[in-house]
């Protein structure tokens, strides 16, 4: 089955599309019948997942439609009865797009296991709770060099740069972050690349205690003066606290479009695109991020590895990580195979 229960869907659409401010008594009677049907179908275990196709040919889940109509109570009801932000029957992710610029709805989806990386970048502060961070004033006389993206000198190096913390709070681009701090990037050529927390190819890992670990990623494209591939880690607890760490490139090379797999006490970072000068044919970079010390260390592996892979999927299955999809350098070649990394031996082998 790839569609929700049809009777439940019909009743929900009646409720969603009825504006109670302009209803007649007949409308209210129909609305009550629809609500009765909804509760009866849900009590009977009706399927809430799957997608519908409307008369105009557009598709969407019941959850996405409730969110699009800004009906928080109905979205909450559907989630309580098994609906999921990423539809388990079809993989449909329309709920994330429908939640655009609805912080309360975004937080509701996050409470039910939403993948923060699937929200619009403008919605990440609400999804990760950085919108609850206190504003960090940037001193008007702060030297230009403190606006610039930086590498660490220790592993890890805690960083409390006020401009960096404000960028983490807002997820502003480099340009808008500098403007918000009272600087004109065009007049401050020595500032580039300006630090930004608006990234592509970053991973977001939710820890069992509710914290989020954001790893590296890149800002802008290579032609832009603010292009930078980062090698940093940010830990956000969603309650108004943040820890931010820098690293030496010798320990943690610039990393983007990698995967991050949560294990017992560490995260295993596999692959990346990186700068051209980093890429090595036939090598798969693997790093270990310790969740107690936040230290990053390279991991030696053996066996038949995927090569310099990026934009891939990594899934923990038993005692191994299965890597599939993505692209391999040089040449941005599609990866047609599946590889397994055995965690006890750190040995790769090809599955297909």
Give the integer Cα–Cα distance in Å for 37 and 7: 8
Percent above pLDDT 90 for the chain: 83
Q: Which residues contact 109 (CB under 8 A, 6 or more apart)?
A: 67, 79, 85, 95, 96, 99, 127
- Which two three-digit tokens encode residue 71? 């009906």
Q: Is the peptide bond before 319 cis (omega within 30 degrees of 0)?
A: no
Q: What is the pLDDT of residue 168?
A: 96
d(CA 165, CA 150): 13
- Among 142, 185, 190, 186, CA closest to 165: 142
Residue range 6-115 forms a domain whose CATH class is: mainly alpha
Q: Token pair of 233, please?
A: 């880690």
Give pLDDT, residue 345: 98
| pLDDT at 270 > cutoff 90 | yes
Tens of pLDDT, residues 192-222:
899 999 999 999 999 999 999 999 999 999 8
| pLDDT value for 55 | 67
**Three-class SS state of 231:** strand
* DSSP H or E segment with residue 54: none
Digit-coded pLDDT (tens) for 208-262: 999 999 999 999 998 899 999 999 999 999 777 899 999 999 999 999 999 999 9
Query: CA angle, 153 as apex, 159 and 204 as ends, to 5°?
Result: 50
Q: Where are the domains of the chain?
A: 6-115, 129-202+217-243, 257-352
Distance CA 248, CA 229 (A): 13
Distances, alpha carbon 34 to alpha carbons 28, 80, 82, in Å: 10, 19, 20
HSE value, Cβ hemisphere, 13 Å, CA-based, for 189: 0
Helix (H, G, I), strand (E, B) or coil at 260: strand
pLDDT exceeding 70 applies to what percent of the chain?
A: 97
> What is the dihedral sign for C-alpha 39, 40, 46, 51?
negative
CB 203 within 8 A of CB 258: yes
Residue 1 has pLDDT above 70, yes or no: no
Structure confidence by residue, pLDDT tens digits, 25-49: 887 888 899 999 999 999 999 999 9
Q: Is the pLDDT of residue 22 over 60?
A: yes
Provide the H-helix boundaries in the chain: 6-16, 25-43, 62-68, 72-80, 94-98, 103-111, 124-128, 162-170, 174-180
Give residue-wise pLDDT tens across range 334-351. Answer: 999 999 999 999 999 999
Q: Which residues are within 8 A (CB) of 117 and not within 5 positions of it... i.e. 6 or more apart?
A: 202, 203, 204
Residues 123-157 have pLDDT tens digits of 999 999 998 888 999 999 999 899 999 999 999 99
If you average pLDDT over every residue of the chain, what do you get? 93
Instruction: State residue 189's pLDDT score.
Output: 64
Q: Is 117 helix (H, G, I), strand (E, B) or coil?
A: helix
pLDDT value of position 238:
75
Q: What is the C-alpha to C-alpha distance for residues 172 and 163, in angstroms, rounded to an integer?
A: 11
Rg (CA), the chain: 23
- CA–CA separation, 30 and 14 (whole Å): 8
């Amino acid at each position: 089955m790839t569609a929700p229960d049809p009777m439940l869907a019909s009743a929900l659409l009646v409720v969603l599309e009825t504006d109670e401010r302009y209803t007649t008594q007949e409308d209210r009677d129909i609305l009550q019948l629809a609500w009765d049907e909804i509760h009866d179908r849900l009590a009977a275990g009706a399927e809430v997942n799957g997608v519908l196709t409307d008369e105009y040919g557009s598709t969407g889940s019941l959850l996405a439609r409730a969110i699009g109509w800004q009906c928080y109570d109905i979205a909450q009801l559907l989630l309580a009865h098994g609906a999921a932000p990423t539809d388990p029957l079809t993989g449909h992710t329309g709920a994330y797009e429908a939640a655009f610029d609805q912080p309360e709805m975004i937080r509701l989806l996050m409470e039910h296991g939403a993948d923060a990386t699937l929200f619009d970048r403008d919605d990440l502060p609400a999804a990760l709770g950085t919108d609850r961070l206190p504003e960090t004033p940037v001193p008007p006389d702060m030297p230009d060099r403190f606006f610039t993206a930086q590498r660490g000198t220790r592993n890890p190096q805690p960083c409390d740069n006020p401009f960096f913390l404000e960028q983490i709070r807002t997820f502003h681009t480099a340009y808008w972050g500098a403007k918000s701090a009272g600087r004109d990037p065009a007049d401050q050529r020595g500032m580039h690349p300006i630090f930004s927390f608006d990234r592509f190819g970053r991973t977001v890992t939710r820890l069992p205690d509710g914290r989020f670990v954001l790893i590296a990623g890149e800002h802008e494209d290579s032609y832009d003066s603010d292009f930078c591939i980062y090698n940093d880690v940010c830990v956000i607890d969603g309650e108004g606290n943040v820890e931010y760490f820098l690293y030496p490139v010798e320990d943690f090379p610039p990393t983007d479009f990698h995967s991050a797999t949560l294990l017992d006490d560490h995260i295993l970072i596999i692959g990346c695109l990186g700068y051209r000068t980093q890429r090595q044919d036939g090598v798969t970079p693997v790093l270990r991020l310790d969740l107690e010390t936040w230290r990053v260390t390279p991991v030696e592996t053996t066996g038949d590895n995927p090569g310099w892979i990026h934009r891939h999927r990594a899934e923990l299955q038993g005692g191994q990580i299965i890597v599939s999809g993505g692209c391999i350098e040089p040449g941005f070649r599609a990866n047609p195979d599946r590889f397994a990394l055995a965690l006890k031996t750190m040995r790769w082998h090809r599955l297909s």
